[in-house]
């Protein structure tokens, strides 16, 4: 189950929207198959939502909580994605203290037309812990007469 949090109530997301996915299951404590208390991912999500209220790009990014991004041994995990751009997955983020670096990196991601985040330009906390850089999906028109 995925829930989206739009920081702005006046924002209109069209083709140019960007998403910041945050795993809300990361850094959970489990007992007898049930999560105890609030997870580290939920705490990180709340910190991001709080900081994003004053963020210049709050109307350009949708912050989405995700139940699990299957990087449990590398929590906490976030991802940046947008149409026509690379998708990045970062892990090993500290529960406390990494929210501002995530938003700084998201700003860099937004500013780059293809989403490229050069290692040397990333905030220090996101230079390590990269789990994936996934190429964008490009749809090419197929000539059906050749098939």
Handedness of CA 119, 125, 130, 136 (dihedral sign): negative
Q: Is 117 helix (H, G, I), strand (E, B) or coil?
A: coil
Domains: count for the chain: 1
CATH number at residue 26: 3.40.30.10
Structure confidence at residue 10 as a pLDDT band (50, 70, 90): very low
Give the domain extent around 134: 2-146
53-84 tens-digit pLDDT: 999 999 999 999 999 999 888 889 999 999 99
- Cβ neighbours of residue 145 closer than 8 Å, sequence gap 6 or more: none
pTM (predicted TM-score): 0.82
């Amino acid at each position: 189950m995925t829930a989206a949090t739009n920081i702005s109530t006046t924002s209109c997301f069209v083709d140019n929207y960007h998403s910041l996915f945050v795993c809300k299951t990361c850094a959970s404590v489990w007992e007898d198959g049930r999560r105890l208390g609030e997870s580290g991912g939920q705490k990180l999500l709340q910190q991001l939502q709080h900081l994003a209220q004053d963020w210049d790009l709050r109307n350009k990014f949708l912050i989405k909580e995700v139940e699990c991004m299957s990087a449990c041994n590398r929590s906490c995990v976030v991802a940046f994605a947008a149409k026509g751009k690379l998708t990045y997955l970062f892990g090993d983020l500290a529960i406390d203290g990494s929210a501002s670096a995530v938003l700084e990196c998201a700003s860099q991601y937004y500013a780059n037309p293809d989403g490229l985040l050069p290692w040397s330009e990333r905030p220090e906390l996101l230079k390590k812990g990269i789990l994936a850089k996934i190429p964008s999906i490009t749809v090419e028109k197929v000539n059906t007469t050749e098939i």
